[in-house]
Amino acid sequence: MPDVNLIIDGQAVSVPAGTNLVDAARTVEVAIPVFCYHPKLKPVGMCRMCLVEVYTARIDPATRQVVMGPDGLPQLALMMNKLQPACVTPVSEGMVVKTTTEKVKFAQRGVLEFLLTSHPLDCPVCDKGGECPLQNLTMQWGPEVSRFDYSDKVHFEKPIKLSDVIYLDRERCILCSRCVRFQDDIAGDEVLGFDNRGRSWEIISKSEPGFDSKFSGNTTDICPVGALTNADFRFRSRVWEVRSTPSICTHCSVGCNLSLDARHNSLMRVMPRENDDVNEIWLCDKGRMGMRFVESATRVTTPLVRQHGKLVAASWDEALTRIASNLSQIAAKGNGQVAGMMSDSASNEDLYAFRKLITDTFQSTSLDHRPGAVTDVAIDEAIITAGVGMGTSLLSLGKGTAVVVLAADVEEEAPLYVLRLRGIKNRGGVVHVVNSFATKLGTSASSDTRIKAGSEAAYANAFLKLVLEAQVASGFDRRVRNLDDVRNQLSKLLLDTLLEHAGVSRAQLQKVVDAYMAASNAIIVYGRTALQIGASVTQTMANAAMATGKCGKANNGLIALTTGANTFGAVSLGVRPGKDGAAANEFWARAEAGTLRGLLVVGLNPAANNPAAVEGLQTIAKHGFLAVQTMFMNETAELADVVLPQMAIAETDGTITNAERRVQRFRIAMAAPAAMHPTWQVCAQIAERATVATPASKNATAVLSNWNYAVTSDVTDEVAQNNPRYAGVTYTSLDLSINSWGRQANESVYYDGTSYTNTEGNGVQLKTVADDAGAALTVVYSPPVEFEPKGEFGLLMQTPVRAYNGGTWSIDSKLGSRQVAAHVLISSADASRWNISAGDAITVASPIGSSTLPAQIDKNIAAGHVLMPDVAGAPVHLALGAYTRVAIRRAE
């Protein structure tokens, strides 16, 4: 569509049709003041701050023709003979806009004065003071004095709690409704509303508990005054006193950009940082209010070594030497008796150094990023092959885009994806959700298919079958290998059988397949359940993407919602079992068998809720050596021979790779509470000491020189050098910034108190295999797995993710009351069958044990389906995979 030409304050402007006048003016650095308008929200034109003079061609009412002036040009007339709100007035050809005339100034001064006369002007005690659009606009557009009495202020009880974390000061509220509209349009949690009218009009929470949304903190950002404040930051600091450090959230796989605001080495608040390719300008509440653990008094601050059966404080040198010498001795016996496990939320640098320590120094391939539970998830090779293509930007997607979300609870697993996927739908794309239980995203999706518990693989294969059939006409991607085998195998599966197994009609499936096939951009998202089931879902869906060429290019492919913030980093940098090496959930058996004697654990707590792991760890500690690096004492650390303090993300620097394989950099925001070293340094220190002590090490000098790192970026550079996938990823390339939100005129309104602008880098997205034109894409047939309840264990139990799971992040968090307590969700049918009421204690038995916990009844769950959310204290060790056969009964 050709651009529209108009004149704003004497400057020629050319913008796409449909652009509103506020945005059009910004392109030529003309600032039109706004309160209710926000570039991320639909304009509503209610604050009336943006009134301007708009002139359009004069139309003769009789002839309906443009009246021409003596100069041969159309005569202009003031539109509707009054001022127009710029935010809801779209540009039109030949329009002339004046934003600084006396008439405009008079109106704008009036609106500002009206707002200020009911506003309490308590800036000195307001959290927003210093980054407040109302303050800023008053300075530029407001009257110097007020004509009205101070006694005319509106008075309300201040503040009131909308929820445990969000406070509302109704006196400060200027009723712009940005918060309500954010919740309705962007978050999809329609929990805010209005009450009363006129000057008594007020924002209220309609939900129970109050303001029940995982995105509530964003409303405090976009609030143009200090009406909404959050409990995490209230009265902690003046905003100009904080020093902001760019960082990345590590609570899930989204990798939201954020800013850590500290004062005197103390964390004041967490704010979102703009990155259109990741979190736009938003942050979920867990990311915003889940950082207080950093300053917890219960942190492990000094190395501990076991003496006479007790852990006592020791020097770093002593602790590191112990680890090095003990593990060296064990390693010297050969056969990979040392093993390592490290959290997949750690940085690429730490993971790389850890891998190097275990494989090079201690000569073992028993390495894992998972905690060693039976339910450990395999990250399929398929996601590395066909993950989402280079240059993908969900924000650019709308019409013509199809997203299929299979076996994922997006809001719980990676909350911010809800906003991003809803955005695609709001912009005209389709989002189809397919899951075995109801999810929040499903309620606002284009379709929400409920499949039978355990039928994900059947659904995936049925999906692939129809996709391949549909693709025949237009031909398959030439790079695809092994297609005939897959088609041949699939032809043996009867569609009707698969559909019946999944409990889905042909039409329901066809709708999703048609949308997928018709889309010019198609993305498949899968989550924990898919990953737990494994290849029969993940590879099968990847097959569909590969065969149709819907991968290996921007805005197409697959996104896996992994558990860790850096699962891709861990997997691609080798923190996973190598040849002959054991996976974490095999460590315990190896320990019992005596073939694993030394274990280094970083940032994981395998002993939590896993009796097998506890036994294994005890055996290792007893007959060998167990070293743990951790931020907090936990069940695993209690068993260790040496415990090392671990740094929090706020205290160190490095890079992490998100679910879309975007590598992003985080920096040091504050000093650690005591002398600590980042894990990569700890690994280097151990390696240095180990080479001296281990005669078995074949190439001692070479290994030593390899650990010559001065700063974190030395490790980053080595990662880039040694891993083709990371080629070119350096601090310099990560630091390139593109400010897609625009920073022209009026930034004091759009940015102040909102998201931090990104001047510190948007990160670098890694290529998938499919991004290479010459790559071979091998499709692999993965038959559907069956989860059939049978015998005494007649129900199928799933352990879904809960964002508020009571993990480390929740320590000292204001979100305490939102933590999900351990419970089991059962269907109404099963509840009446076993005579169970909500709140009753029930015993859940699986083939490997049983446990008792409270039941809740969910009428949306199908009979025979049991959900045990994976939260702190839940006996998830009863699970044997994605689905576990269980029996339930009322506890005696």
Partner 1 sequence: MPPITEHVVLRDLDVPNIADLDVYIQHEGYEALRNAVKEKSPQDIINVVKDAGLRGRGGAGFPAGVKWGFLPKDVYPRYLCCNADESEPGTFNNHQIIDRNPHQLIEGVALAAYAIECQKAFIYIRGEFAAGALRLEKAIADATARGFLGKNVFGTNTSIEIIVHRGAGAYICGEETALLESLEGKVGHPRLKPPFPAVAGLYGKPTIVNNVETLTNVPRIVLKGVEWYRKNGTEKSPGTKVFSLSGHVNKPGNYEVPFGVTMRELIYDYAGGMRDDKKVKIIVPGGASSAWLTEANLDVAMDYESLAAAGTMLGSGGIIILDETVSAVELAYKMDEFFKHESCGKCTPCREGTHYLVKTLHKFTHGGAVKNDINKLHDVYNQMAGNCFCLLGESAVVPIRTALRLFPEEFEAALAKSPARHAIPLTLAH
* Closest approach of partner 1 to the CB of residue 153, in Å: 8
Q: Are 181 and 37 in contact (CB under 8 A)?
A: no
Query: Is residue 200 close enough to count as binding partner 1 by CB under 8 A?
Result: yes
The correct pick among 17, 93, 106, 494 for binding partner 1 (CB under 8 A) is: 106
The whole-angstrom distance between residue 139's C-alpha and the CA centroid of its chain comes to: 37
Number of neighbouring beta carbons within 10 Å of residue 33: 26
Closest CA to 605 of 578, 584, 574, 589: 584
Nearer to partner 1, 202 or 409 (CB): 202
Cα–Cα distance, 276 to 765 (Å, whole number): 13
Query: Is residue 44 close enough to count as binding partner 1 by CB under 8 A?
Result: yes
Nearer to partner 1, 34 or 575 (CB): 34
Cα–Cα distance, 680 to 431 (Å, whole number): 41
Query: Is residue 46 close enough to count as binding partner 1 by CB under 8 A?
Result: yes
* Closest approach of partner 1 to the CB of residue 145, in Å: 12
The whole-angstrom distance between residue 883's C-alpha and the CA centroid of its chain comes to: 25
Nearer to partner 1, 40 or 273 (CB): 40
* Closest approach of partner 1 to the CB of residue 151, in Å: 5
Nearer to partner 1, 109 or 292 (CB): 109
* Closest approach of partner 1 to the CB of residue 572, in Å: 47
What sign results for the dihedral spanned by CA atoms 669, 673, 679, 681?
A: positive
* Closest approach of partner 1 to the CB of residue 745, in Å: 22
Query: Is residue 147 close enough to count as binding partner 1 by CB under 8 A?
Result: yes
Closest CA to 204 of 176, 178, 168: 168
Cα–Cα distance, 107 to 101 (Å, whole number): 10
Query: Is residue 79 close enough to count as binding partner 1 by CB under 8 A?
Result: no
By CB under 8 A, the residues from 433 to 472 that bind partner 1 are none
| DSSP type of residue 241 | G
Size of the chain, expressed as the number of residues it contains? 892
Cα–Cα distance, 654 to 4 (Å, whole number): 46
Kindly tell me the burial class for residue 307, based on how many C-beta atoms sit within 10 Å of its own C-beta (0-12, 13-18, 19 or more). exposed
Q: Are 664 and 248 in contact (CB under 8 A)?
A: yes
Cα–Cα distance, 620 to 598 (Å, whole number): 6
* Closest approach of partner 1 to the CB of residue 296, in Å: 43
Cα–Cα distance, 253 to 564 (Å, whole number): 6
Nearer to partner 1, 190 or 635 (CB): 190
What sign results for the dihedral spanned by CA atoms 282, 187, 805, 349?
A: negative
| DSSP type of residue 600 | E
* Closest approach of partner 1 to the CB of residue 83, in Å: 6
DSSP, collapsed to helix, strand or coil, labels residue 683 as helix
Cα–Cα distance, 508 to 191 (Å, whole number): 30
Query: Is residue 194 close enough to count as binding partner 1 by CB under 8 A?
Result: yes
Query: Is residue 25 close enough to count as binding partner 1 by CB under 8 A?
Result: no
Cα–Cα distance, 12 to 267 (Å, whole number): 47
Q: In Å, what is the CA distance from 474 to each residue of 465, 471, 513?
A: 15, 6, 15
Query: Is residue 862 close enough to count as binding partner 1 by CB under 8 A?
Result: no
Query: Is residue 201 close enough to count as binding partner 1 by CB under 8 A?
Result: yes
Contacts of 865 (CB under 8 A, 6+ apart): 436, 437, 453, 795, 796, 798, 827
Nearer to partner 1, 44 or 891 (CB): 44
Cα–Cα distance, 812 to 232 (Å, whole number): 10
Interface region with partner 1, contact rule CB under 8 A, candidates 104-112, 237-245, 335-343, 723-731: 104-112
Q: Are 192 and 211 in contact (CB under 8 A)?
A: yes
Query: Is residue 45 close enough to count as binding partner 1 by CB under 8 A?
Result: yes
Interface region with partner 1, contact rule CB under 8 A, candidates 111-119, 389-397, 639-647, 652-660: 111-119
Task: Report, in this order, helix, strand and coil percent for the chain, each rounded to 5.
Answer: 35, 20, 45
Residue type, position 805, single letter? N
The correct pick among 60, 148, 481, 708 for binding partner 1 (CB under 8 A) is: 148
Cα–Cα distance, 180 to 203 (Å, whole number): 8
Query: Is residue 111 close enough to count as binding partner 1 by CB under 8 A?
Result: yes
Query: Is residue 121 close enough to count as binding partner 1 by CB under 8 A?
Result: no
The correct pick among 39, 74, 94, 110 for binding partner 1 (CB under 8 A) is: 110
Query: Is residue 192 close enough to count as binding partner 1 by CB under 8 A?
Result: no
Query: Is residue 307 close enough to count as binding partner 1 by CB under 8 A?
Result: no
DSSP, collapsed to helix, strand or coil, labels residue 266 as strand
DSSP, collapsed to helix, strand or coil, labels residue 663 as strand
285-298: buried (b, 16+ CB within 10 Å) or exposed (e) per residue? bbbbbbbbbbbeee
The correct pick among 47, 267, 402, 524 for binding partner 1 (CB under 8 A) is: 47
Q: β-strand 76-78 against 192-195: which pairing, if any?
A: unpaired
The correct pick among 52, 54, 91, 115 for binding partner 1 (CB under 8 A) is: 115
Nearer to partner 1, 36 or 596 (CB): 36
* Closest approach of partner 1 to the CB of residue 110, in Å: 3
Residue with tokens 């003031």: 78
By CB under 8 A, the residues from 593 to 612 that bind partner 1 are none
Query: Is residue 151 close enough to count as binding partner 1 by CB under 8 A?
Result: yes
Residue with tokens 């009723």: 175
Cα–Cα distance, 650 to 681 (Å, whole number): 16
Interface region with partner 1, contact rule CB under 8 A, candidates 60-68, 102-110, 213-221, 717-725: 102-110
Query: Is residue 51 close enough to count as binding partner 1 by CB under 8 A?
Result: yes
Interface region with partner 1, contact rule CB under 8 A, candidates 79-87, 296-304, 554-562, 737-745: 79-87
Query: Is residue 105 close enough to count as binding partner 1 by CB under 8 A?
Result: no
Nearer to partner 1, 34 or 857 (CB): 34
Nearer to partner 1, 112 or 351 (CB): 112
By CB under 8 A, the residues from 155 to 174 that bind partner 1 are 155, 174
Interface region with partner 1, contact rule CB under 8 A, candidates 106-114, 643-651, 811-819, 850-858: 106-114
The correct pick among 72, 198, 309, 774 for binding partner 1 (CB under 8 A) is: 198
Residue with tokens 């139309």: 59
Binding-site size, partner 1 (CB under 8 A): 38
* Closest approach of partner 1 to the CB of residue 49, in Å: 7
The correct pick among 153, 206, 236, 553 for binding partner 1 (CB under 8 A) is: 153
* Closest approach of partner 1 to the CB of residue 24, in Å: 18
Query: Is residue 64 close enough to count as binding partner 1 by CB under 8 A?
Result: no
Q: What angle do CA 706, 708, 714 make, to 5 degrees?
A: 100
Interface region with partner 1, contact rule CB under 8 A, candidates 110-118, 379-387, 611-619, 716-724: 110-118
- Residue ranges binding partner 1 (CB under 8 A): 44-49, 51, 81-83, 88, 106-107, 109-111, 114-115, 117-118, 147-153, 155, 174-175, 193-194, 196-201
